[in-house]
Chain A
Amino acid sequence: MQYLPNIVFAIILITGFGFFIKNISKLIRNIKLGKSVDRSDNKAARWKNMAKIALGQYKMVRRPVSGVLHVVVYLGFVITNIEVLAIIIDGLFGTHRVFQPILGEVFYGFLIGTFEILAAMVFVAVVVFWIRRNVINIKRFLNKEMKGWPKSDGNIILYFEMVLMTLFIVMNAADVTFQSGGIGNPISQFVYPLFNGFSSGTLHLIEQSAWWIHIVGILVFLNYLYYSKHLHILLAFPNTFYAKLKPKGQLDNLEAVTKEVQLMMDPNADPYAAPAEDAEDEVPEKFGASDVTDLNWVQLMNAYTCTECGRCTSSCPANLTGKELSPRKIMMDTRDRMEEVGKNIDANGGTFKDDGKQLLNDYISPEELWACTSCNACVQECPVNIDPLSIIMDMRRYLVMEESAAPQELNMMMTNIENNGAPWQYNQQDRLNWKDEE
């Protein structure tokens, strides 16, 4: 029975990682529901973007308060998690602070001391985040789409981090031997006196409990990611890597349309030609997007990456002037619908069964789509290079090319372009009149 804790630990660890892998494979499956898009070009620029934007948090600090706090939490979280490695080894082999003798008292003390200070800083930053979300009225946390689960989700993540950081400090504070060493305990030494008068048995129990809850907490948190907006801690990296490199103003030219236009413009094309043999089985390509499966995989990965910070929405001219459009909601809706489609596929043995719903209308209304000025403020603001504008444009394409459902004034504008080469009803022959008008 001596090995019981080790076995229990191994089982917890395997279960935790097992579920995580299962969730991640589901996530990848869902992202692959999207259409293909080639982002294999210019690897050097892509690595650079990832290093600068995801790793280097370059765009975060454009808003200094939340940016700097975020850097603290990010660094603290990443660095203190090195400790998890020690925890896993201790747990599996029944050792205690396995790296202490290997690294030497002083260096080990230095490392743990650094972790303690970082943990305390993370704790403080997270408390400030909580205050920003719940006490101070910061507008971007109060938009319509943030009611209910998104708000709870944000807070749950903060509680997780508070508890995990506290447990790390408590674990060190209750470790009598560690405290008596007097090194590497810059924070926990102030917690240690709270345990004054506790028996060594109780202290050991506290330390062990903190240790166990800490590692179980980390594994639970890891598995919480898939259900939460917090996936950005992983997806920010591929998301910045695969993000568009072209100028923000450049929209893609739909290839399916190019083919049709070439045919229309080709003077040698036979308009009465019989369709090719295999053409009857061919499903004509749908123009634009009405559901998540019409979007490409980068757009779907964008949706999973979004952490709902709302910087996009807080800079959107339409949203700022009270319109329904919120770029953040576009991303949240895309993710919700993708999850729905994913669950549908799981429930129907691997194939999607028509549920009579789609992203358009059931999640995103035409009113939202038509409010966009295509100004790219949302794309510019996103700290992880999400592109809500591309989804809006693809959905407009569907509305116009598949449903002919543009607002009346836009139909007039397009008719004018078709008839006289200008969005207004002017005669093409008058194009040069300006030169004689002064």
Chain B
Amino acid sequence: MIVPTMADMMAQGKQPEVLFWVGAAGSFDDRAKKITRAFVKILQQANVNFAVLGTEESSTGDAAKRAGNEFLFQMQAVTNIEVLNAYEVKTIVTCDPHSFNTLKNEYASLGGNYEVFHHTQFIKKLITEGRLSIDDSVLKNKRVTFHDPCYLGRANDEYESPRDLIKRLGVNLTEMKRNKSTALCCGAGGAQMFKEPEKGNKDINVLRTEDALETKPEIIATGCPYCNTMMTDGVKFKEKEAEVAVLDIAELIAQANNL
């Protein structure tokens, strides 16, 4: 697919309306790359003039910061801010709530001031502006439940954008007993993604998958590549992968719009 980089843009003397921050998972993880491509297709359908940093993008430092390594975080932040500011980036969109939170909240005091959108917020904006519509016939009446990412929900009080998009798909949305501000974490946050859990009697992603399965879903919708991995593993652990799909909202929209 054709994905312009900021360097390409600059060479042509152009400035995109938004920078798509892909994030480490979205760039390297095989499952998350599908979410990245789905979102790009949506951007292209809506004729959004976007660009990525490509090889100039680096870890936001979120995982390092939450693991306690403030040095590494700030080194990453300062380096990224230099790149972003050199390209005069004003608006950023990302499919990763961790990047979203870090770029939006934690870069400002280090010199990086941007308007940052989670992809569900950005897609909702495209719809409101009349640049995109969602076909509600393809996934009609599918039973869907939505798992709130902690870094979008509690961390940044955004519960409605993802739900608004899900409702536009024409699906049957059933909430889990723990949802929105009381949603249970998938178990990946705070750098847990990169280590084995401490000893306990259950894995967090299994507990959360049980919450989801109680709603008898055909699709568990997510809005975070790490949540997606955790829930996918949980569904496999419960041996439900034949009946239940774990899909990002961007993938659902790409499916609905036949992209």
CB atoms of A421 and B59 under 8 A apart: yes
Q: How far is the CA of A257 from the CA of B110 in the complex (A)?
A: 11
| Closest residue on chain B to residue A376 by CB atoms | B154
Query: Would you call B184 and A414 a contact (CB within 8 A)?
Result: no
Residue among A257, A325, A377, A414 making CB contact with B154, cutoff 8 Å? A377
Task: Kindly list chain B residues whose C-beta atoms are within 8 Å of the C-beta of A275.
Answer: none
Q: With an 8 A cutoff between CB atoms, is A128 at the interface?
A: no
Q: Which residues in B have their C-beta under 8 angstroms from that of A376?
A: 150, 154-155
**Any B CB within 8 A of the CB of A268:** no
Known: A317-B207, A376-B150. A410 touches B67 (CB 8 A): yes
A318 at the interface (CB under 8 A from B): yes
Question: Are the CB atoms of B67 and A414 closer together than 8 Å?
Answer: yes
Take A321-B207, A413-B67, A431-B22 as given contacts and tell me if A257 and B155 are in contact as well, using a CB distance cutoff of 8 Å: no
Q: A407-B195, A417-B64 are in contact. Are A249 and B70 (CB under 8 A)?
A: no
Q: Which of B45-73 contact A (CB under 8 A)?
A: 52, 54-55, 57-59, 61, 63-73
Are B195 and A410 touching (Cβ within 8 A)? yes
Q: Which residues of A contact B54 (CB under 8 A)?
A: 431-432
Across the two chains, which residue of chain B brings its CB closest to A264?
B75
Q: Does B126 contact A (CB under 8 A)?
A: no
Which residues 198-254 of A have a CB within 8 angstroms of B?
246-251, 253-254
CA distance in complex: A66, B58 (Å): 47
The one of A258, A381, A401, A434 in contact with B69, judged by C-beta atoms closer than 8 angstroms, is: A401
Given the complex of chains A and B, what is the CA–CA distance between A371 and B195 in angstroms?
A: 10
Candidates B74, B151, B198; contact of A325 at CB < 8 Å = B198
CB neighbours (8 Å) of A413 from chain B are 63-64, 67, 191, 194-195
- Contact pick for A437, options B33, B150, B207, CB 8 Å: B33
In the complex the two chains form, is B58's CB within 8 Å of A432's CB? no
Complex formed: what's the CA distance from A376 to B33 in Å?
Answer: 28
B204 touching A251 by the CB < 8 A rule?
Answer: no
A400-B69 contact given A317-B184, A321-B203, A407-B195, CB 8 Å threshold: yes
Chain A residues lying within 8 Å of B76, measured Cβ to Cβ, are 417, 421
Cβ of A61 to closest chain B Cβ, rounded Å: 14
Specify which of B24, B67, B201 is in contact with A406 (CB 8 Å cutoff): B67
Bound complex: CA A132 to CA B145 (Å): 34
| Chain A residues in 8 Å Cβ range of B202 | 321-322
Q: Is the CB–CB distance between A321 and B154 below 8 Å? A: no
Which A residues are in CB contact (< 8 Å) with B64? 413-414, 417
**Is A373 in contact with B33, judged by CB distance below 8 angstroms?**
no
Does B170 reach chain A (CB closer than 8 Å)? no
Task: List the one stretch of A4-12, A109-117, A422-430 in contact with chain B.
Answer: A422-430
- With A393-B66, A393-B68, A414-B72 as given contacts, are A246 and B198 in contact (CB-CB < 8 Å)? no
Instruction: Check A318–B198 contact: CB distance below 8 A.
Output: yes
The reply to whether B194 and A423 form a contact with Cβ atoms under 8 Å apart is: yes
Asked if A432 contacts B59 (CB within 8 A), the reply is no
Evaluate whether A249 and B101 lie within 8 angstroms (CB atoms) in the complex, with A396-B67, A410-B67 already known.
yes
- Contact assessment for B110 and A374 in the assembled complex, using a CB-CB cutoff below 8 Å: no
Residues of A within 8 A of B104 (CB): 247
Asked if residues B185 and A377 are in contact (CB atoms below 8 Å), the reply is yes
Binary contact track A368-404/B, C-beta < 8 Å → 1, others 0: 0011111111011100000000000100111111000
Q: Can you pick out 21 interface pairs between chain A and chain B where the beta carbons lie within 8 Å of each other?
A: A247-B157, A248-B155, A261-B71, A261-B74, A261-B75, A317-B207, A367-B198, A377-B150, A401-B70, A406-B68, A410-B194, A417-B76, A421-B57, A422-B27, A428-B55, A431-B27, A431-B55, A431-B57, A432-B55, A435-B3, A438-B37
Not counting A265-B75, A414-B67, A418-B72, a sample of 6 additional A-B residue pairs whose C-beta atoms are within 8 angstroms of each other reads A248-B157, A323-B198, A376-B150, A413-B195, A424-B24, A426-B27
B residues bordering A, Cβ < 8 Å? 1-3, 5, 22, 24, 26-29, 33, 36-37, 40, 52, 54-55, 57-59, 61, 63-78, 101, 104-106, 109-110, 150-151, 154-157, 181-182, 184-185, 187-204, 207-208
